[in-house]
């Protein structure tokens, strides 16, 4: 008989998440990470002054250059709001978009509207479809929940590549721990070695153009080129609902429904693959984050989670199967294959564990992003 999962007394994370631990009050370790992040980014006057200082620093760094920062744009709410914030604060961003071939029409028009309104230059990097498809298929066949890794890795690489090429020191990220939550590593894990090892085992196409993230590229961009990623939404009280309304009025932004459904593949991934194959309901992340940051009550969130998860449409699933060139039998085999995790493949993870102490030092010096530190090292 299956045991009923134990739920954290403060958020919605439960014992279906591997690595979860509870303190004597029944509060989970992910809530503790949230509190650490809250200490680093407190919403007070001092933090406001720090943000002002940071904006000045970014402006000074870009003096005499056409741009002072980079914002990655997907057409989604968080990235559009990051772009909007940059403009509002008098920064001169260069927008960068990675087109993996799965953009929804709404996403494309959202990007166009925002850059047109503020007269922002846009660099679009288009994936080589045959290579990208082969990587996506490899991750589906690897039977891991990290099926969005090719996109996430490529975005990271493309933003840094463009920053280095244009001599831009700052990348503004649209990630906010107050609304996105802390993703358990058994739900999403990514690194460049993982990508290569999964592709080597399941792929068929030779990869020559895909922008991967390797350890040497991480060191190069961070230590040699001094490029910094600024999670600017962490510096103020970012509320997704309010932000969406503001963007609708300001830049004619259109809501596309579910969370991160700006891409058809993401829609398939979150509404079908994750819940049906892996039993992962990603709403838990965002809802828990909102509870921890006081944007909603735990009772309201619990009620929300009991409702049907992201509703999926068969048309999305059929479109995905056909675009990836799979037969129904091949797709069924993917859905029914035994579940694996990143621990079943070669990754940088053992190396990161072995180099815990120097990485901790790197974190203290501000070279290792905080959220990565808490997720992989601490
Ligand atoms: Zn918790």
Question: Is residue 260 over pLDDT 60?
Answer: no
- pLDDT grade for 316, boundaries at 50, 70 and 90: very high
Give the distance (Å) from ligand 1 centre to CA of residue 201.
37
Give the distance (Å) from ligand 1 centre to CA of residue 292.
8
Give the distance (Å) from ligand 1 centre to CA of residue 27.
5
Asked if 147 contacts 303 with a C-beta cutoff of 8 angstroms, the reply is: no
Give the distance (Å) from ligand 1 centre to CA of residue 258.
23
Q: Name beta bridge partners: 96.
A: 72, 123
Give the distance (Å) from ligand 1 centre to CA of residue 66.
44
**How far does Cα 122 stand from its chain's mean position?**
20
Rounding to the nearest 10 degrees, give the CA dihedral for residues 324, 330, 333, 339: -30
Percent of the chain at pLDDT exceeding 90: 66
The pLDDT of residue 210: 94
The pLDDT of residue 45: 84
Give the distance (Å) from ligand 1 centre to CA of residue 222.
32
Give the distance (Å) from ligand 1 centre to CA of residue 369.
22
* Residue 232, φ and ψ in degrees, nearest 5: -65, -30
Give the distance (Å) from ligand 1 centre to CA of residue 16.
13
Strands 93-99 and 69-72 turn out to be: parallel
Strands 93-99 and 122-126 turn out to be: parallel
Question: Is residue 258 over pLDDT 90?
Answer: no
Neighbouring CB atoms inside 10 A of 165's CB total 9
The pLDDT of residue 309: 72
Give the distance (Å) from ligand 1 centre to CA of residue 23.
10
- pLDDT grade for 372, boundaries at 50, 70 and 90: low
Collect all residues with Cβ–Cβ distance below 8 Å to 267 and sequence separation of at least 6: 104, 258, 261, 310, 312, 316
Question: Is residue 113 over pLDDT 80?
Answer: yes
pLDDT, one tens digit per residue, over 144-187 is 999 999 999 999 999 999 999 999 999 999 988 888 888 888 88
Neighbouring CB atoms inside 10 A of 7's CB total 20
The pLDDT of residue 360: 74
3 vs 288, more confident: 288
Give the distance (Å) from ligand 1 centre to CA of residue 375.
15
Work out the mean pLDDT of the chain and round it to a whole number: 90
The pLDDT of residue 1: 47
- pLDDT grade for 138, boundaries at 50, 70 and 90: very high
The pLDDT of residue 181: 84
pLDDT, one tens digit per residue, over 180-226 is 888 888 888 888 899 999 999 999 999 999 999 888 888 899 889 99
Give the distance (Å) from ligand 1 centre to CA of residue 93.
36
Give the distance (Å) from ligand 1 centre to CA of residue 13.
6
Asked if 220 contacts 160 with a C-beta cutoff of 8 angstroms, the reply is: no
Give the distance (Å) from ligand 1 centre to CA of residue 7.
8
Give the distance (Å) from ligand 1 centre to CA of residue 43.
21
Asked if 351 contacts 194 with a C-beta cutoff of 8 angstroms, the reply is: no
- Residue whose C-alpha is closest to residue 38's, from 177, 242, 233: 177
Question: Is residue 86 over pLDDT 90?
Answer: yes
The pLDDT of residue 180: 85
Give the distance (Å) from ligand 1 centre to CA of residue 144.
24
219 vs 137, more confident: 137
Q: Averaged over 4-26, what is the pLDDT?
A: 92
Strands (E), 176-268: 228-230
pLDDT, one tens digit per residue, over 51-67 is 999 999 999 999 999 99
CB burial string 31-56: b at 16+ within 10 A, e below: bbbbeebeeebeeeeeeeeebeebbe
Tokens in use for 260?
């991160």
The pLDDT of residue 328: 97
- pLDDT grade for 274, boundaries at 50, 70 and 90: very high
Give the distance (Å) from ligand 1 centre to CA of residue 326.
39
The pLDDT of residue 333: 98
The pLDDT of residue 378: 59
The pLDDT of residue 82: 97
Tokens in use for 151?
């996109």
Give the distance (Å) from ligand 1 centre to CA of residue 302.
13
- pLDDT grade for 374, boundaries at 50, 70 and 90: low
The pLDDT of residue 310: 74
- pLDDT grade for 259, boundaries at 50, 70 and 90: low
Give the distance (Å) from ligand 1 centre to CA of residue 204.
42
């Amino acid at each position: 008989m299956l045991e009923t999962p134990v739920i954290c007394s403060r958020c919605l994370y439960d014992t279906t998440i591997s690595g979860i631990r509870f303190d004597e009050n029944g509060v989970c370790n992910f809530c503790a990470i949230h509190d650490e992040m809250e200490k680093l980014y407190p919403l007070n006057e001092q933090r406001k002054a720090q943000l002002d200082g940071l904006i000045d620093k970014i402006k000074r760094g870009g003096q005499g250059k056409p741009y002072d920062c980079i914002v990655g744009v997907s057409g989604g709410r968080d990235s559009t709001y990051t772009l909007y914030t940059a403009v509002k604060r008098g920064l001169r961003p260069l927008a960068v978009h990675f087109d993996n071939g799965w953009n929804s029409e709404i996403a494309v028009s959202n990007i166009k509207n925002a850059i047109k309104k503020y007269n922002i230059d846009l660099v679009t990097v288009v994936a080589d479809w045959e290579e990208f498809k082969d990587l996506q298929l490899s991750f589906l066949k690897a039977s891991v929940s990290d099926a969005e890794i090719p996109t996430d890795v490529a975005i990271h690489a493309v933003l840094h590549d463009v920053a280095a090429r244009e001599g831009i020191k700052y990348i503004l990220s649209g990630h906010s721990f107050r609304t996105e939550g802390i993703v358990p590593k058994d739900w999403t894990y990514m690194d460049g070695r993982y990508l290569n090892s999964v592709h080597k085992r399941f792929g068929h196409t030779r990869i020559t153009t895909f922008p991967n993230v390797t350890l040497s590229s991480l060191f190069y961009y961070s230590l040699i080129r001094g490029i910094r990623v600024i999670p600017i939404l962490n510096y103020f009280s970012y509320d997704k609902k309010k932000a969406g309304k503001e963007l609708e009025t300001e830049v004619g932004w259109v809501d596309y429904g579910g969370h991160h459904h700006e891409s058809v593949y993401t829609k398939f991934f979150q509404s079908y693959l994750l819940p049906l194959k892996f039993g992962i309901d990603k709403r838990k992340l965002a809802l828990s984050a909102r509870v921890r940051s006081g944007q909603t009550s735990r009772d309201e969130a619990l009620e929300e989670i009991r409702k049907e998860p992201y509703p999926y449409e068969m048309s999305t699933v059929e479109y995905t199967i056909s675009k990836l060139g799979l037969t129904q039998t091949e797709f069924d085999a993917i859905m029914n294959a035994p579940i694996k995790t990143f621990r079943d493949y070669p990754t940088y993870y053992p190396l990161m564990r072995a180099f815990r102490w120097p990485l901790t030092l790197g974190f203290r010096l501000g070279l290792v992003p905080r959220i990565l530190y808490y997720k992989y090292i601490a």
